[in-house]
Chains A and B, each alone.
Chain A
Amino acid sequence: DQQVKQNSPSLSVQEGRISILNCDYTNSMFDYFLWYKKYPAEGPTFLISISSIKDKNEDGRFTVFLNKSAKHLSLHIVPSQPGDSAVYFCAAMYSGNTPLVFGKGTRLSVIA
């Protein structure tokens, strides 16, 4: 019973174009959503987050959109760069210091 779902195992995008990674969740009690980036042989690195009271958060090339009615969030990367190639995990929390609930991840490949 997966509460956070990333239905695309992989995504390939050309350098300079937009990357859109999607995430769906089932539990409306989630209060906070986060995106982590993971390179091989490293731990997940925090990328960007959004509170359930917002619908958009931007940080440089990265923007996260939240649609609460659809229980859907997406991460936009513009423009995509080869260094963005990694596995991206969507995660959700009920409140502060509660466990992270992760999706299975999407492997992004940015082709030069």
Chain B
Amino acid sequence: DAGVTQSPTHLIKTRGQQVTLRCSPKSGHDTVSWYQQALGQGPQFIFQYYEEEERQRGNFPDRFSGHQFPNYSSELNVNALLLGDSALYLCASSPGGGSYGYTFGSGTRLTVV
């Protein structure tokens, strides 16, 4: 049973560019959440998608946007990249309906130069 898969594993972008990260949830999960983990910090919640809509959002600027597809997979887009956007981006999936069971992917390491 495949868990949460994220692509790419690593990415290097230049300041001002745009980036798209991808996530496929665990089989049976329909809710996808994205987190940013900066160096030395705990993961910070970006937003959550359910039924192809953004259901909840953390304290991140509009440069961060997302999408969920009918097959429950999701994308995270970041525009106008800043050096401070360099971080590990984690995708977590869960079954809907008030679940406490989040499963995380291995993350995408984004470096902005």
Distance in angstroms between the alpha carbons of A104 and B4 in the assembled complex: 23
Majority-rule SS of B interface residues: loop
Q: Given that A43-B4, A45-B104, A93-B100 are contacting pairs, would A104 and B42 also be in contact in the complex, using a CB cutoff of 8 Å?
A: yes
The CA of A67 and the CA of B74, in the complex, are separated in Å by 38
In the complex with contacts A42-B106, A45-B104, A104-B40, A96-B98 CB distance below 8 A: yes
Number of interface residues of A (CB under 8 A): 26
By beta carbon, the residue of chain A nearest B94 is: A97
Which residues does A use to contact B, with CB under 8 Å? 4, 6, 32, 34, 36, 41-46, 49, 89, 91, 93, 95-105
What are 28 A-B interface contacts by the 8 Å CB criterion?
Answer: A6-B42, A41-B106, A43-B90, A43-B105, A44-B43, A46-B103, A89-B43, A91-B42, A95-B98, A96-B97, A96-B98, A96-B100, A97-B48, A97-B50, A97-B94, A97-B97, A97-B98, A97-B99, A99-B33, A99-B56, A100-B33, A100-B43, A102-B42, A102-B43, A102-B44, A104-B41, A104-B42, A105-B42
